[in-house]
């Protein structure tokens, strides 16, 4: 009986530890890895959080001139922190130009961050198109 209980506890521990891995998605299933897009707009929010940080910005639609909210997936806080990025690095109102890989979902205003520039002070990160 004791051996069965220990085996059950071991199984629960192994599967419980692996559960977070099941929620992680492949970037190639969400984004076109062989395509790129560039957007420019004003930052609304910088969500510096696990498992991935996000940059939300308002971008003027080229056809209609209306503001459209874009969501840009970035790295984990741990990875970004090693590159000198903190939750204070970007502020609402910052005007940014972002280069990234577009969403596979048609009509979804979403990118995977490849690089950005903040023209006000010339700060750049990652791969840029300029």
Q: In the chain, what are the domain boundaries? A: 2-126
Q: Provide the 3-class DSSP secondary structure of residue 30.
A: helix
Distances (CA, A) of 128 to 38, 99, 107, 118: 9, 6, 24, 11
pLDDT of amino acid 30 = 84
Cβ–Cβ < 8 Å for 101, 36? yes
pLDDT of amino acid 3 = 60
pLDDT of amino acid 13 = 46
Which segments in the chain show pLDDT lower than 50?
A: 7-23
pLDDT of amino acid 26 = 72
pTM of the model: 0.76
Residue with tokens 């051996």: 3
pLDDT of amino acid 11 = 45
For domain 2-126, which architecture applies? Beta Barrel (2.40)
């Amino acid at each position: 009986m004791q051996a069965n209980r220990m085996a059950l506890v071991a199984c629960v521990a192994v599967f419980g530890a692996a559960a977070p891995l099941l929620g992680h998605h492949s970037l190639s299933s969400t984004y076109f890895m062989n395509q790129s897009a560039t957007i420019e707009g004003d930052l609304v929010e910088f969500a510096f959080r696990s498992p991935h940080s996000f940059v939300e910005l308002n971008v003027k639609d080229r056809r209609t001139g209306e503001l459209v909210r874009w969501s840009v997936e970035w790295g984990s806080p741990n990875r970004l922190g090693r590159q000198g990025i903190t939750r204070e690095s970007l502020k609402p109102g910052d005007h940014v130009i972002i280069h990234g890989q577009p969403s596979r979902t048609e009509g979804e205003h979403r990118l995977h961050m490849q690089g950005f520039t903040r023209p006000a002070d010339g700060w750049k990160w990652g791969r840029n198109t300029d």
